[in-house]
Structure 1
Amino acid sequence: MGKHRPNAPQWVWYTFGGKLPAHLAEWVLHDVTCRTWVLRHLLRALTQLAPFCVVVLLLPGPLHIRLSSLALGLLVGLFYSISAMGESCEHRVIKHGYPPGIGRETRAMYREVRRATRNETRRRRPPE
């Protein structure tokens, strides 16, 4: 990954679907292909859901109804976000100039490298 990362306003813009400057394209590819890409996606989803959560909490009514509405809204929002996770990440890298399928292929390549490294480490370990 390059040394460039988005600042806070750029990251929020990116989280809500905006395009980052060209010098951050490598970071976008890293963001959707690194080992923690699922956690990063969930963090983006929670950031997108945060304004709705604030609105629900500010509505008048009993607190238990607002909290249960908030919990249900978060569950539904996260469910849909997780169900479209791969496509969403692919859309992000395509938007930043990469060819279609590069995110999925890069994640598969990283997975194979980690698996091979793990197997090699196991083979080199002396028997106990």
Structure 2
Amino acid sequence: MTRTTPTLWQRLRYLTGATLPPSMSDWVLADLTGPGATRRYLLRFLVPVLPVLCLFLLVPGPLWMGLSMMALLYIPLIYFTVALTYVYRRHRLVSHGLDPALADAEEQARAEAERAAYEARHQRG
């Protein structure tokens, strides 16, 4: 029997960039494009960095200095993580042998619905 969801070890490897077997393609697709995909992506990139950044709090000096050093690194990380969400999603789909167009399937469906509503409103088509 082939597994359709990853084991704990496979999930940890997946979080670090490894690919999963083809039998888990549906799980990968749901993880990358399903509800909560953006939230999971942001948590995977932004939370593990926090303990490392907290080391700046050990630097001698006032608290604001350690916090500002953390912010100098964390704010750009947040910015680039959000900016590269789409690129990362497409890359992970391709690395698992899935169509990268699935990354924006929700936007395509929304655009088609808007176009159909527009055409219905203006008696076109």
TM (norm. structure 2) is 0.68
Question: What's the counterpart of residue 66 of structure 2?
Answer: 66
Query: For 1:108 and 1:76, how far apart are their aligned partners in 2?
Result: 27
Query: For 1:110 and 1:34, how far apart are their aligned partners in 2?
Result: 14
Question: What's the counterpart of residue 18 of structure 1?
Answer: 18
Gaps of 5+ in 1: 117-128
Query: For 2:67 and 2:101, how far apart are their aligned partners in 1?
Result: 40
Q: Which has the higher contact order (CA 8 A, sep 6+)?
A: 1
Give per-residue Cα distances to partners, 1:70-127, cap 9 Å, x unaligned.
233221101001111101001011111102322222x336657xx79xxxxxxxxxxx
Cα–Cα, structure 1 residues 22 and 54, in superposed 2: closer, same or farther, change >3 Å? Answer: farther
TM (norm. structure 1) is 0.66
Q: Secondary structure at the match of 1:101?
A: helix
Question: What's the counterpart of residue 108 of structure 1?
Answer: 107
Query: For 2:55 and 2:110, how far apart are their aligned partners in 1?
Result: 40
Displacement, 1:39? 0.9
Cα–Cα, structure 1 residues 51 and 20, in superposed 2: closer, same or farther, change >3 Å? Answer: farther
Contact 1:16 1:48 in 2 (8 A): no
CA root-mean-square deviation: 3.0
Contact 2:4 2:23 in 1 (8 A): no
Identity of aligned residues (%): 26
- Answer yes or no: is 1:53 the counterpart of 2:53: yes
Number of matched pairs: 112
- 4+ residue runs of structure 1 moved beyond 4 angstroms? 109-112
Query: For 1:55 and 1:65, how far apart are their aligned partners in 2?
Result: 12
The structure having more radius of gyration, on CA atoms, is: 2
Gaps of 5+ in 2: 115-125
Query: For 1:55 and 1:24, how far apart are their aligned partners in 2?
Result: 38
